[in-house]
Amino acid sequence: KAGVTQTPRYLIKTRGQQVTLSCSPISGHRSVSWYQQTPGQGLQFLFEYFSETQRNKGNFPGRFSGRQFSNSRSEMNVSTLELGDSALYLCASSPNPGTYEQYFGPGTRLTVT
Amino acid sequence: AQTVTQSQPEMSVQEAETVTLSCTYDTSENNYYLFWYKQPPSRQMILVIRQEAYKQQNATENRFSVNFQKAAKSFSLKISDSQLGDTAMYFCAFMAGSNTGKLIFGQGTTLQVKP
């Protein structure tokens, strides 16, 4: 069974632009969570989606948003990029919200210049 | 609010020896789950081991085992017969039973296995 895939793997954007990252969960997994990893703040939870609904949201500004499609694939969007948004963005999937194990994708490395 | 603390930023161990990574957490929940994840230089986060808080028996996965002390809110990871491939950053993580889908991570411990 294929693992979690994330595209693109690397991205360079300019301050003020917006970006969309994609995550395809493991086949059969319906819950997708997103995390931001930076050297200063570590790993921080962004949000979680299940059945196309956002179930949980971390403490991030409204510039960070996401959505989930009927096939469980998820996207996250960051608008008006700031230098501090440079990070590794990790997506994780699990079969459903009641399943506590999460399986991570390889991440998208976003650099904002 | 739940917090996870890893007090050892860096550790090293000789190949074939045993090393223990420490983790403490704080929560008022009674139902929760604890995890150790490994992140090698490739940055791929890999689940190493998990522990359900309601289980008294410590989890074991091959060379990896945990020492779960619920009253002390401690969750350490022991790696036996360390291998060069164990070199990675290790994260302790917490998930509340009432809030599945959200992992709270510690700051991580960088482990280097020396030949």
Which two tokens mark B27? 């929560």
Which two tokens mark B43? 């940055």
Which two tokens mark B91? 């994260």
In this complex, the residue of A43, A103, A107 whose CB is nearest that of residue B47 is: A103
Q: How many residues comprise chain B? A: 115
Reply yes or no: is the peptide bond before residue B41 cis, omega within 30 of 0.
no
Please tell me if residue A41 touches chain B, with a CB cutoff of 8 Å. Answer: no
* Interatomic CA distance for residues B70 and A77, integer angstroms: 39
- Interval A10-48: pLDDT, tens: 999 999 999 999 999 999 999 999 999 999 899 999 999
Across the interface, whether the CB atoms of A107 and B44 are under 8 A apart is answered yes
- Interval A55-67: pLDDT, tens: 989 999 999 999 9
Residue position matching structure tokens 């904002």: A112
Q: Residue B79 — pLDDT band, cuts 50, 70, 90?
A: very high
Q: Is the Cβ–Cβ distance between B58 and B65 less than 8 Å? A: yes
Please tell me if residue B110 touches chain A, with a CB cutoff of 8 Å. Answer: no
**pLDDT for position A95:** 86
Q: What average pLDDT does the segment B36-53 reach?
A: 93
pLDDT over threshold 80, residue A6? yes
Q: Is the Cβ–Cβ distance between A57 and A47 less than 8 Å? A: yes
Across the interface, whether the CB atoms of B33 and A100 are under 8 A apart is answered yes
| Chain B residues inside the 8 Å CB shell of A99 | 100
